[in-house]
Amino acid sequence: MIKPMLLTLHRDPPVGEEWGYEVKYDGFRCLVFLDKDNITLQSRNGKSLNNHFPEIIDFLEALVQQDKLLQFIPLVLDAELTILTSPWKGNFTAIQKRGRTKTKETVLDLAQSTPATLLAFDILKASGKTLVSLPFQTRKAKLKEIFTLLDLPLSPNTYSSVPLQYVPYQLNGDMLFKKIKENHGEGIIAKKTSSTYQAGKRTPDWIKIKNFRNISCFITAYQKDNGYFHVAVMNQDRILPIGLFSHGMSSEERRALIAVVKENSKNEDNLFVYVEPGICVELYYLELYQGQLRHPEFRRFRFDIQVKDCTWNSLRSSNLDLPKSVQITHPEKPLWEEPFFSKLDYLQYLTEASPFLLPFLKNRLLTVIRYPHGMSGEKFYQKNRPDYAPEYVETSVNDGIHYIVCNNLETLVWLGNQLAIELHIPFQKTGSLLPCEIVFDLDPPSEKFFANAVIGALMMKEIFDQLQLASFVKTSGRKGLQVYIPLPEETFTYEQTRKFTEFVANYLVSKEPELFTIERLKKNRGTRVYVDFIQHAEGKTIIAPYSLRENSLPTVATPLNWSEVNQGLRPKQFTVSNVLERLKEKGDPFHSYHLKQDRQPFDKVLSFLDQV
């Protein structure tokens, strides 16, 4: 059994021409053994991961049958198994769930809903020849050569359907680390370009630097059996536990802290020494996960602050890791009163949802609805970029309007600080007159008739499946559903798509005239669901996936899996309180959206309609 080379943890990246830098992904370290008759995904501890990731095995089995690969096998790769949310970050929750799942049926479901990606960063053997004694940069060149020959992705790509991808290295560590921090990635890896591969050893040639944040908190207890210190922060008048730490302290610091805890103890039992809040410390941590610190480590004592300074809001602010270029004002401002939801809550949502939201905002003329006083105040639409907008806010001029184009996290957070709550986008990209998607809006007269929108969406799904069109569905964030069909860019006109949208709308009305209507006037619709096909036109907009909506609750226009579209679905069940956890647990139902665009046989559908 080959053991992987191990990393040494440092606080800061090493600097120098002899270093190369890679992204560190949250996932499972994996050695990949490829032979014509045997494929093994081996974990760091020597266990097989094959049964947990059948989609990877299926791909590799097909790959080893290709003539182009035969010359390189037996082949051994070092890689990370992860579930990408962006080229710089893996989904910690989702990959952990994949690793824990053992039921075959559930494994297959997760392989579809949250497919993994195998990110190869080193090569140990090719054509049966061991390469571990070669320098790192030589091995990387060989690995890239093979990936190029096989036409495999040469960088991590969330929009690629190919689950085996190459991890490049860069010589500018500062620029790479900045990108990782912007995307809340786990960290960076520095490797000496001259280093050999030392299997099973931890050496200073490979260094990991985690994207740590800082937080001040106070100690509540010392656990005697394992030496951990339990910590908390204040949430208004309540003590809120946030985790426990042990690492990062020198032996002198540990002895001093234990002594202080015992001197100030208020109670003690067989397991714990309890202490009144008062001993403040500063910790490093990786991220906040389900209200607890991930990988906390001691940084220093904080004798200069008090317990009241260690707050939940401070923790949440540090966890945001907001771009330094964005100035945040009045983070405590309430947007919703019940349940309470502040501007800080909104900014946290935007930063965490950004990997899923930004791809739909990219290169689109943005229309926003701003709520400067929250849901209880007045609102207004905004299209023009205001004069006071910072330089990083891009614009595109159309019909004399300088539209905002949200192509980066800074702009998204800046919009959040401006309390732009609703984000509406057109169906085409900037500079184009042709749609890159079709969206049907199923709009019932009230939530009472939402079940009929469900019926309509499922009827559409049946049509689209018969036409071999990939379709996606999301809640509108209010009382309806919206069904999407991605299209190849710069290919079809609105006149062509209108033939299709009108055909589908009329089909629903003809099949269920008591349930559906294409009547524009609300007063004439009665209780029927309005099938809005006219909205799909140049100059019209739709609410972006993962945008918030004006509502009694902070609801989200939420992408769904088609299996969720049933009579148990409710329009207000998806809010900011659960959508982020849902993304971590279930992944993004629109994860393959952009992969489907170029594969849609929409020209055949139009040919069929011309004959009808």
Q: Which of 355, 346, 313 is nearest to 83 (CA)?
A: 355
602 in Cβ contact with 469 (< 8 Å) = yes
- Strands 213-223, 272-275: pairing is antiparallel
Q: Which two tokens stand for residue 222?
A: 């010392």
Q: Which amino acid would we find at residue 82? A: T
- DSSP annotation of 447: G
Contacts of 452 (CB under 8 A, 6+ apart): 444, 515, 516, 528, 529
The residues pairing with 223 across neighbouring beta strands, listed in sequence order, are 228, 272
> Which amino acid type is present at position 474?
K
d(CA 372, CA 370): 6
Closest by CA to 554, choosing from 532, 531, 572, 539, is 572
Token reading at 107: 């494994």
Interatomic CA distance for residues 433 and 110, integer angstroms = 38
Q: Which residues contact 392 (CB under 8 A, 6 or more apart)?
A: 325, 408, 410, 411, 414
Measured in residues, the chain has a length of 612
DSSP string, 470-531: --EEEE-SSS-EEEEEE--TTS--HHHHHHHHHHHHHHHHHH-TTTEE--SSGGGTTTSEEE
> Under a CB-based contact definition with an 8 Å cutoff, are residues 475 and 457 in contact?
no
User: Distance between CA 276 and CA 20 in Å, rounded?
Assistant: 48
Q: Specify the residue for token string 């392989």.
A: 111
Structure tokens at 113: 């809903």
Query: CA-CA distance, 584 to 580, in Å (whole number)?
Result: 6
Rounded Cα distance between 371 and 310, Å, is 31
Report d(CA 559, CA 547) in Å as an integer: 11
Task: Name the nearest CA neighbour of 21 among 178, 169, 210.
Answer: 169
Q: Please, which residues have CB within 8 angstroms of residue 24's CB and are 6 or more apart in sequence?
A: 180, 185, 186, 187, 188, 189, 208, 209, 210
Residue 103 burial class via C-beta count within 10 angstroms: exposed 0-12, middle 13-18, buried 19 and up: exposed
Bridging pattern class, strands 117-126 and 394-398: unpaired
The tokens describing 39, both together, are 């494929």
210 carries an active-site annotation: no
Given 24, 125, 429, 584, the catalytic residue: 24
- State how far the Cα of 83 lies from the Cα of 105, in Å rounded to an integer: 19
What tokens appear for 239 in the block? Answer: 């003590």
- Residue 178, token pair as written in the block: 């900045």
Quick check: 32 and 76 in contact, CB under 8 A? yes
DSSP 269-315: -SSEEEE-S--EEEEEESEEETTEEES-EEEEE-TTS-GGGSBHHHH
CA distance 502 to 440: 10
Count other C-beta atoms under 10 Å from residue 326's C-beta.
18
The residues annotated with a catalytic role in the active site are 24
